[in-house]
């Protein structure tokens, strides 16, 4: 079998294995956030940061959220990294945004953060702060989900079907899942362009 065929078969297997009930629970958390007038902060590093930026657009434009990604402000991100260190960039950004109990963090991550192994400590610190102020947490993560899976109100785990393809599948399915969220009839508020041209 070719690599392309194998990759696509893995994608099918992952799609079939995703827990739809957890996706529905996550939609419920997001809906409650919007209804309470809360804001949505979407966090990710690397490819997940790019996904966070795209998702902010969709949550704002399609689902009517006030949504932000700290990584969209490269000046603040790099200033905080330079002056205070990488580990605290998200938590300090959230403090500056006055994160409160009505808000929600949506975390996109391959591993979910792990302080012991110094993997995405910035996500862990942000999640600790969110728990401290009582904000909700939703995650879309791969592998075992790391710290995000331990503390989230709802976490969609992207199952590992090939240990050599954890990152590409995790980051690809972040997009599948957030598009599920913004397309969900409980959250969707605006007709998307091509659907509106029928």
* pTM, 2 dp: 0.95
DSSP string, 63-102: T---EE-GGG-HHHHHHHHHHT-GGGHHHHHHHHTT--TT
Over its length of 198 residues, how does the chain's per-residue pLDDT go in tens digits?
899 999 999 999 999 999 999 999 999 999 999 999 999 999 999 999 999 999 999 999 999 999 999 999 999 999 999 999 999 999 999 999 999 999 999 999 999 999 889 889 999 999 999 999 999 999 999 988 899 999 999 999 999 999 999 999 999 999 999 999 999 999 999 988 888 877
Q: Which residues pair with 136 in a beta bridge?
A: 104
Place of tokens 């954890």: 166
Q: Which CATH architecture has domain 21-189?
A: 3-Layer(aba) Sandwich (3.40)
Place of tokens 């949550």: 59
Q: Where are the domains of the chain?
A: 21-189
Identify the pLDDT of residue 119.
87
> Does residue 44 contact residue 105 with C-beta atoms inside 8 Å?
no
Identify the pLDDT of residue 36.
98
């Amino acid at each position: 079998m070719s690599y392309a065929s194998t990759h696509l078969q893995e994608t099918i297997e992952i799609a079939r294995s995703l827990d739809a009930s957890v996706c529905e629970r996550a939609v419920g958390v997001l809906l409650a956030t919007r209804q309470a007038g809360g804001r949505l902060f979407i966090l990710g590093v690397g490819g997940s940061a790019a996904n966070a930026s795209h998702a902010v657009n969709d949550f704002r434009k399609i689902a009517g959220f006030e949504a932000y990604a700290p990584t969209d402000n490269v000046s603040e991100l790099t200033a905080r990294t330079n002056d205070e260190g990488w580990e605290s960039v998200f938590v300090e950004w959230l403090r500056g945004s006055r994160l409160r109990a009505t808000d929600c963090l949506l975390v996109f991550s391959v591993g979910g953060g792990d302080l012991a192994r110094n993997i995405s400590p910035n996500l862990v610190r942000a999640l600790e702060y969110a728990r401290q102020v009582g904000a909700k947490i939703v995650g879309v993560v791969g592998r075992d989900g790391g710290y995000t899976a331990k503390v989230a109100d709802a976490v969609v785990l992207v199952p590992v079907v090939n240990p050599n393809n954890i990152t590409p599948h995790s980051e690809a399915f972040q997009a599948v899942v957030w598009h599920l969220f913004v397309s969900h009839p409980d959250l969707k508020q605006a007709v998307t362009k091509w659907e509106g041209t029928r």
